[in-house]
Amino acid sequence: MKLLNTILKEELDLYLETWNYHWNIEGPLFPSLHKLFEEQYEALRELVDEIAERERALGGVAETRVALEIKKQRPAKEMLTTLAERHEGLSAKMKSEWIPKLEKAGDPGSVDLLTRVLQEHDKMAWMLRATAK
Task: Please provide the DSSP assignment of 32-55 as one string.
Answer: HHHHHHHHHHHHHHHHHHHHHHHH
Q: What is the model's pLDDT at position 127?
A: 97
Single-letter amino acid code for the residue at 66 = V
Taking the model in full, what pTM does it have? 0.92
Report whether 25 contacts 33 (CB < 8 A). Answer: yes
Q: What is the model's pLDDT at position 71?
A: 75
| Residue ranges of domains in the chain, CATH in brackets | 2-132 (1.20.1260.10)
Q: What is the pLDDT of residues 16-29, one digit of tens each?
A: 999 999 999 999 99
Q: What is the pLDDT of residues 53-79, one digit of tens each?
A: 999 999 999 998 777 777 788 999 999
Q: What is the model's pLDDT at position 72?
A: 80
Report whether 99 contacts 45 (CB < 8 A). Answer: no
pLDDT > 70: what percent of the chain?
99
Going through the chain in order, the beta strands assigned E by DSSP cover: none
